[in-house]
A and B are shown apart, each in its own frame.
Chain A
Amino acid sequence: MPTYIDPIDHILAGNRTYQQHTTQCDPDAFTNLAQGQAPDILWIGCADSRIPETTVCHCKPGDIFVHRNIANTVHADDLNAASVVEYAVTHLKVKKVVVCGHTKCGGANAALGDADLGQTLNTWLHPVRELRRRHKIELDKLPSDDARSARVAELNVQQSIEVLKQHPAVKRAVSERRLTLHGLIYDIGAGQLKILDDSGSKKTTGLWSPN
């Protein structure tokens, strides 16, 4: 019979394993981390539990600065995300800003329907629902709800990038030190990241080609 483990004890035990394992691999790991951070990448992703950015990118602590919210949405009037961007771009001087959407996104799915999610979530998802309206003809042609949801996720990433381009810190960094913005989609069923072709400044610089 499986014994019941308290979920909080479970993650505290997980933390002890992580600490021991990290120290075994590199005895100076924590001393080095304590010195500070200098991440190259700011990741704006979905709060969805299935996409732990550092894990799916097989990166190490210290590599990726992170903001995660419902459906990786960037609103022009959202001070939370704007503060993260300001700190990452102006103070940490990250080199890349990534917006990562994903297939099977609860936020994108919800935006395809009209269910009342309560005032808070209705307001938050409003710009995503607007995408459905603006791209109705294209979306209607798609064969399934899964395909429509995946397409809305892509459109939402592009919309977030457009908003980010207007952020004063981003504008400055793009012109002064060639900061670049990139859209990604994570395929939950395959565990793989895909870059959106027409996102960011990829086309013009040719910098980002995964192959």
Chain B
Amino acid sequence: MTGKEEIKEVRKYLQQSHDRIFENNKKWAEEMRKKKPEFFTDLSAGQAPEYLWIGCSDSRIPAEAITGLEPGEMFIHRNIANLVNNIDLNVMSVVNYAVRHLKVKHIVVCGHYGCGGVKAAMTPKDMGLLNPWLRNIRDVYRLHQDELDAITEEEAKYDRLVELNVYEQCRNIIKTAAVQQCWAKNEFPVVHGWVFGFSDGLLKDLKFDHEGQLKEIQKIYNLTQEQDG
């Protein structure tokens, strides 16, 4: 193929992949309207989701689809390796809005086995712009170094790091003023840690002990008392 033809082919492909999204969207909107004529009118009245989902950006884990929830039911933040960093204004704004304004009842941190972000973080290599973000995962490793070093099988070690990363992010959510203050008043939101597996398509509950961890964390990170004025 000449260069020009190649460009033409690429353009055709891009056009098709683009058109597909719009065609699909139209089809979906029609189907939903057929099932429930007032569906979109109801949605435009506002949102009152019960859940906040903090998951990985990975294309294979569309949160609503894998939990069977409909539009309007789950507030979503997705980033590389589902991290919750206390100086990240982006995720902190999401947690703040979901807890203080939407008053969600549950916060789910969902990681997944085979996470490219976690893998990248454990690669002994300069990852450029990604270094500061991935550093958080290396820190999780360091916090659990004894346990992880003891696992000899590479795949098992990596799976366990994925789980421990979820655990630590659940703890990070509990460290926020928004969650602690809301919990003191209402006994919600409850924080959950899950991992999604591609091998079976199922969510695994890591049984994060919300109340126990909150107590433990507040020995140091207690922000329950509200700001003055």
Contact = CB atoms under 8 A, between A and B. Distances in A.
Contact of B57 (A75, A87, A180, A188): A87
Nearest to A39: B59
Contacts of A53: 62
Contacts of B58: 37, 65
A80 B79 contact: yes
Contact of B97 (A12, A47, A62): A47
Nearest to B50: A7
14 contacts: A7-B51, A8-B192, A11-B67, A22-B201, A49-B49, A62-B59, A66-B62, A70-B90, A84-B79, A106-B47, A118-B96, A189-B40, A193-B25, A207-B18
Contacts of B97: 47, 70, 106, 121
Contacts of A192: 25-26, 29
A103 B44 contact: yes
Contacts of A40: 17
A3 interface: no
B90 A124 contact: yes
A157 to B, nearest CB: 16
A37 B117 CA distance: 12
B199 A68 contact: no
A52 B76 contact: yes
Interface in A49-64: 49-59, 61-64
A168 B63 CA distance: 29
Contacts of B156: none
B68 to A, nearest CB: 2
A162 interface: no
Interface of A: 7-8, 11-19, 22-23, 29-31, 33-34, 37, 39-41, 47-59, 61-70, 75, 78-84, 86-88, 91, 95-96, 103-104, 106, 117-118, 120-121, 123-125, 168-169, 178, 180, 188-193, 195, 205, 207-208, 210
Interface string B1-44: 00000000011001101110110111111001100000111011
A124 B96 CA distance: 11
Given A22-B201, A64-B59, A191-B39, A34 B114 contact: yes
B29 A190 contact: yes
B60 A62 contact: yes
Nearest to A15: B203
B contact residues, range: 35 or more
Given A29-B201, A189-B40, A11 B69 contact: yes
B75 A123 contact: no
A87 B77 contact: no
B201 A49 contact: no
A120 B200 CA distance: 39
Nearest to A48: B47
Residue among B15, B69, B97, B120 with the highest chain A CB neighbour number at 10 A: B97
B176 to A, nearest CB: 9
B25 A58 contact: yes
B79 A83 contact: yes
B105 A7 contact: yes
Given A23-B201, A49-B49, A67-B79, A18 B18 contact: no
Contacts of A70: 90, 93-94, 97
A120 B129 CA distance: 24
B106 to A, nearest CB: 6
A59 B60 CA distance: 11
Contacts of B214: none
B160 interface: no
Given A11-B51, A12-B205, A69-B94, A55 B28 contact: yes
Closest 4 CB pairs of A and B: A14-B68, A58-B24, A54-B62, A191-B29
Contact of B93 (A30, A96, A121, A189): A121
Contacts of B166: none
Contact of B25 (A33, A49, A56, A80): A56
Nearest to A184: B21
A88 B79 CA distance: 11
